[in-house]
Structure 1
Amino acid sequence: MTTTTALVDTTVAGSLLAGLLLGTRLLRRPAGPGAGGTVAPEVLLAGVTALIYLNQLLCAAYLLRVQGGDTTFVTRYLPPGWFAQPDGNPLVRLVADHLPAPALFAPTVLRVQAFLELPFVLLAYGTVLRRLSPALYRTVLGSRALVRSAALSYTVVFGVVEWDLRNPWTVQDLVIRAVSAVLTAPLLNALARREPGADREPGAAGLLLFAASLWAVGTLVMVVYDTALLYNLGHLGGRWPEALLALLVLAATARRQGAGPAGGRGTAALDAALRRSLTLFLVPALAIRYGVTFGTPLLAAGGALLTGAQALWHRRVRAGLLPLVLGGAAGLAAAYLAVLLVTDTYYESALLRAMATALVVTTLGCALADRLRPERLSAHAVN
């Protein structure tokens, strides 16, 4: 076992333990009211994304002006799939021609992104939480212990990957990532605790809108990951249509998603399982993702299954277990077909498509079961 594998496996195990302990404890607490006057995480996510692309533009201009467009000075330390630059792009050439003191823009290579990556992924997670329930978002990202544990876990994982791909900038990147973690966690706490939004009733319409939001946020993350976080600005020309579609979906689903009638036991069980899963997965999510490729895949898969099982261990889930199981079986079959029919460059894209497909089909299955056997629930059965 390599040092990287051992470190990733240790991080997976530690993150799982912290996530289950802290998440389970947090789920027992009622969601308190927010202070009001907050900024939606979507707004800050858009700002961080803009900074990421600004850095990419300046990086491309720096590489063109100082390195003559040659990226071998950095790519020799990295695996294939990095630094596909936008050769001949007129905007890049314009910025390169007018770049003052171009050598000062050397930190745009690797270091600036090292600071922005953590707030980017945590704000994306917060956006998903808020789309399901503002109260859940307030409770989860308002927890100091949970957010600090997530920031620590993600920073350790990023650091282990950095060390596995070590290069002349690695030590600087590790320090920058540590600073980013120290600053990001309290910012997210303060942001979430001011969320004024109330909780939302479980219902098929709200869950379908959430599935669309989940796909849209995940698609945007994958586009940014490919075109910016891997420094492949040259790929943006081929990926902007799906990014635009994702933005349109996010705009269309921005209205209150729980405005419809409450569902029956099946949709309530699915809603509860989703809330618990998103809470329990916050801390170990990134460790599990990198555990698949850098660590032991069986440990990562086992950790994901353990967390999923814990998410299902709840009275509201058990009350609607039969329609949830039947709908979930149909959802898994549909997810398998969604993965089988398309070949992806990144396995995360297949996973995202499978998750969105499974959620849509499972929701429809639970809604059908609820119509066949209507047993309406009260409005506040969410945890």
Structure 2
Amino acid sequence: MRPVVPILDVTVAVSTAAAVLYRSRKPRDKQLSRFGPEPALAAVVALILLNQLLFAVHIQRAHHGDTSFISRSFLPGWFDVPRHNTTVTWLADHLPGPPGLLSPTVLRVQAFLELPLVLLTFAAVLAATRYVPVRATATGPYTTALTALLARALTLFLLPALAIRYGLTFAHPQPAAAAALLVLAAALRREDLRLLGPAAATLAVGYAVAVLTPGPYVEATILRSATGALLATTALCALLDTTRTRLVARP
């Protein structure tokens, strides 16, 4: 067993426990979160762009522009770097320190930032709904419950997300998957029982997408499956709300 495996397993357990305990905390004043997730998302995007620039500088300084040492293990295009770029060339020639100074830009920094990028993007999309004009007809109970559940689950999942993501790949996947389900269960409330039917559709669609359109690697398959499941659940909740509205309005 690799030394990192027990470390990742413990990290998954501790971060998941912290997320579950966070659920019982009293919500803070809304004024403290008036800025929303957008500034944090912008900061993460800026860090990713900076890392990409420094990665290109590292490749030129330490490997003379050759990325074959790492690209052979990944899909084509993952490690393409700009050629004859003035900024990259100038930084490579003038940046002090040994050639391997920027080696963490290869996989390490990017891997640390990828989950915050995805989660903050999702949070920004959810937060953007506050700018959508309110329709004459109020949002139905199914859509309201789904939106609230997603917001709570996202908030709780932010803490253990990175540990769970690497636990699935580099440690024991079963405890990591169980931790993800536990976080989702911690976000549930009594009013979410109405979502049991749409949840069954979520599992069915997610499984079908994973089986019929698998991605080139595990993360891509999970992303496709989750996207299809979320779209199906949202559409079904909207349909149930529409049907309920018509039944209530029928004389």
TM-score range, shorter chain: 0.7 to 0.9
Q: Is the partner of 2:93 in helix, strand or coil?
A: coil
Q: Deviations over 1:2-33 (max 9, x none)?
A: 432211111111111111101x134x425522
How big is the alpha-carbon RMSD for the aligned residues of Structure 1 and Structure 2?
3.6
**Distance apart, 1:49 and its partner CA:** 2.1
**Distance apart, 1:44 and its partner CA:** 1.9
Q: Deviations over 1:153-196 (max 9, x none)?
A: xxxxxxxxxxxxxxxxxxxxxxxxxxxxxxxxxxxxxxxxxxxx
Q: Please tell me whether residue 133 in structure 1 is matched to residue 127 in structure 2.
A: yes
**Distance apart, 1:100 and its partner CA:** 2.1
**Distance apart, 1:281 and its partner CA:** 1.1
| Match in the other structure for 2:93 | 100
Distance 1:93 1:14 in 2: 46
**Distance apart, 1:64 and its partner CA:** 4.6
Distance 2:30 2:197 in 1: 34
Q: How many residues align?
A: 242
TM-score (normalised: structure 1): 0.54
| Match in the other structure for 1:334 | 205
Distance 1:129 1:84 in 2: 26
Q: Deviations over 1:283-330 (max 9, x none)?
A: 111111111122222111211122222222x13313xx1xx2222222
Gaps of at least 5 residues in structure 2 are: 247-251
Which stretch of the first structure deviates more once superposed, 103-112 or 342-351? 103-112
Contact 2:112 2:162 in 1 (8 A): no
Query: Closer, same or farther in 2 for the Cα pair 1:85/1:291, shift >3 Å?
Result: closer
Query: Closer, same or farther in 2 for the Cα pair 1:92/1:270, shift >3 Å?
Result: same
Query: Closer, same or farther in 2 for the Cα pair 1:100/1:336, shift >3 Å?
Result: same
Q: Is the partner of 1:283 in helix, strand or coil?
A: coil
**Distance apart, 1:258 and its partner CA:** 6.7
**Distance apart, 1:361 and its partner CA:** 0.9
Gaps of at least 5 residues in structure 1 are: 135-198, 201-255, 376-383
Distance 1:123 1:316 in 2: 30
Distance 2:91 2:184 in 1: 53
Query: Closer, same or farther in 2 for the Cα pair 1:58/1:5, shift >3 Å?
Result: same
- Answer 1 or 2: higher relative contact order, Cα 8 Å, separation at least 6: 2
Contact 1:273 1:317 in 2 (8 A): yes
Seq. identity, %? 29
| Match in the other structure for 2:66 | 69
